Structure 1
C-alpha cells in the first residue's frame, strides 16, 4: 500500500465509497465523520481511502476480566474486494496494533463492543475474510452480539405519554442516565441533541428512554427503563414512539442494535437478524 498516512475527515467520502464496495449495510460519509472524528474521541485513521483503511481508538474501557488493563479498540478495517488476498488487511492490522501500543508495554485490543461511537457492534458473521484475518493473527473470539430486525408495517401507533426529548429535558435526562446507565451517557445525550430520543416521565422523573439514529441511521438503541418499572410497559411505550418516528422518516424496516433482552422487541414483531463476533488480543511491544 502506497500510503499509510493519518487521514482526516476530508477522506470520509472516499472511505464511504470504499465501504460500499466492501461491506454489507455500509456506513455513510456523515456517519463515518461522526464515529471516526468525534471531537471527544477521535480515532487514528490510516491508509489509502481508495484501497484500504484502518481506524483505532486508544484508551478504550478495559474488559471486565482485567479492569486495570491498558486498552484500545479497532473501530474499522476495510479493504477493497479487488485488493483482498494480497496482504493489505494484515498490513493494516499490524499498523493498528503499533498505533495502539504507542510508547511500549502491552495493550488489550478489542474488535467490536466499542461504545459510544461504534459503527458495528462486532464483526458480522458474513464477513468471512475479516474473521479469518483476525484468527490468523491470534485474536480470540470472546463474545457474540446481534441485532434484531423490525418490519414497521404492522407496528401499532404510539400510545399517549412518551414524548421526543428536547433541550428542556437535558438536565433530567443527564441525571437519570448518570444514575442508572452511565456507560450509555454519550449515546443518549447525542440522541437528545439530535432530536432522536423518546422519553416517558412519571411522578419520580424520567421513567424510560429509547434512542434511535445515534451512530447509524435506521438503528434503534440504546433503550432503558427504570429498574422497578421493568415489565410494566414503559419500555414498549418509548419504543413505539421511536419506531413511529422512523416510519415517518420513510423507513419500512429497521434494526435494533446490540440487543440484550429479546422479548421487548419480539413484542413488536422483531426477529433476530445480523450476528456479530467480538474479538480480543493482548499485544506487547
Structure 2
C-alpha cells in the first residue's frame, strides 16, 4: 500500500457492510460519499453511482495502490476540510468505500479513517467482499424476483486481475465506457502498445485489429513501432508520456510528481558518480 509494515491501530474502527446493507445505506444516508479505492483504469469500465444524485462515485486518478496514502494525505487531510475561518464547518459525512473484492479496503479504508480530517460524527464504512460480492447479491435478488438488473447501483463491469479481465451481472447492462480510439460504447480492455508503457485502455474489437492503440500522441512519437515489432530494449527507464504527466500533474500538482523507482535509482546512482570514498578503516 505504499506504507511499509502498515497495520491498522484498530481493526474495528470502521463499519463493515454486507452488500444489502451497503445498498440500503446509499439510499438512506443523506451525506453519503461513495469512494472508489481502486486504480483509475479499473473504474473506467464500471463504478457505483449515488442513487440520489445519479453521479458516479469519487474515483481517485491513482495508477497503483501504493499511491493511496499520498492521495489521502493530499485530498482527505486538507486544512480547509473543516471550513475556513468565519465559515460554518461542513456537515458530517458517511464515506462508503469499495474495491474489487474487499481486500484493498481492509487496510486502505482504515488508513484513511486514521489519517483524514474528520468531524466527530464522520463515519467510514466499507463494502464487505467488494464489488464482486455486491454483484453476486444483485444476481441472487434478480433470480428471486426481488430486484431487476437495472436496480443495481454498480454500473458496467468489475475489473479483475485474472484471465477473465472483468465480470458483470448475469444480465449485463450497456457499457459505461467508450473505446479510446473510436469512442464507440465498449468495455473491452487492452493496453497501449508502446513498449514500456502498457497503460490499460478501453479498446473495441474493431480498433484492436485495425489500428495501433496508443494512450496518447506523445507515446506514439516516443515509440513509433509497437511493442510486438520493436527490438528488445536496453535496460533503461522508459520516458513518461504526455498524458501520464498530465494525469499526475492534475493529481499531485506542479512539480510534485514522484519519480518512478527505476528513474529514482538511476538519478541516485548518477549523483554519486565521481565521488571519492575517503573513509579509512582503523586497525586496532
TM-score (norm 1): 0.29
Higher strand share: 1
Determine which structure has greater relative contact order: mean sequence separation of CA pairs < 8 Å that are 6+ residues apart, divided by chain length. Answer: 1
Q: Larger Cα Rg: Structure 1 or Structure 2?
A: 2
